[in-house]
Amino acid sequence: MHCDDAGPLVHRRLEGRLGAEDRTRLLQHLEHCAGCREELETQEAVAVMLAMRPTAEVPLGFADRVMANFKPAPGWLDTVNWRVWTYRLTPVAATLVLLAALGLASTEAAEPLEFSDLVADWVVEEDSDALPASSVFWEDEVSEDALLEAVLTVNYGEPFR
């Protein structure tokens, strides 16, 4: 047995948890190793001193005072402290509210327009007497034959007649 193996056995012997086989191995090692014998004597002296100490009762509220001195490690939620962000963003929010209030003024609603009117205004030029071929797709009442003809035969750059 090596000294590294004897150390845990010494501690188990002092605690009274050493089995018969381990006790024999430890005693054989202690016969040949002065360092481990000295370690055993030191540990026994410490055990005797601890056994002789007076018992003291813990004062009322001791655990609460000890726990009050512990500061928990900051968590991820502490880094995203909403109070700090609220205070920092208050001037920005106030400015946005003020700008929104100043920007609200009464406006007149525009009259609704038909899509075909928009297309006609966009496509028709004042001096032109014919519409481009693509305008047939935006007209309200167009026969299926006219649509088919527009898709198959008409060049989009030429007027539709």
- Smallest CA-to-CA distance from 28 within 6, 58, 50, 48 is with 6
Helix 3-15 vs helix 20-32: crossing angle, to nearest 10: 130
Residue 127 has pLDDT above 60, yes or no: no
Q: Is 61 left (phi over 0), alpha (psi -120 to 50) or beta?
A: left
For 70-109, what is each residue's pLDDT tens digit? 877 777 766 677 777 778 888 888 988 888 888 776 667 6
Mean pLDDT of the chain: 78
pTM of the model: 0.35
- Smallest CA-to-CA distance from 14 within 1, 5, 23, 3 is with 23
> Strand, coil or helix: what is 108?
coil
- Dig out the tokens for 131 from the structure: 């519409």
Helices and strands, counts by H and E, the chain:
8, 2
- Cα angle 63, 64, 69 (rounded to 5 degrees) comes to 100
pLDDT at position 41 is 92
For 77-88, what is each residue's pLDDT tens digit? 666 777 777 788
Residue 110 has pLDDT above 80, yes or no: no
Amino acid type, 67: M
The band of 116, judged by pLDDT with boundaries at 50, 70 and 90, is confident
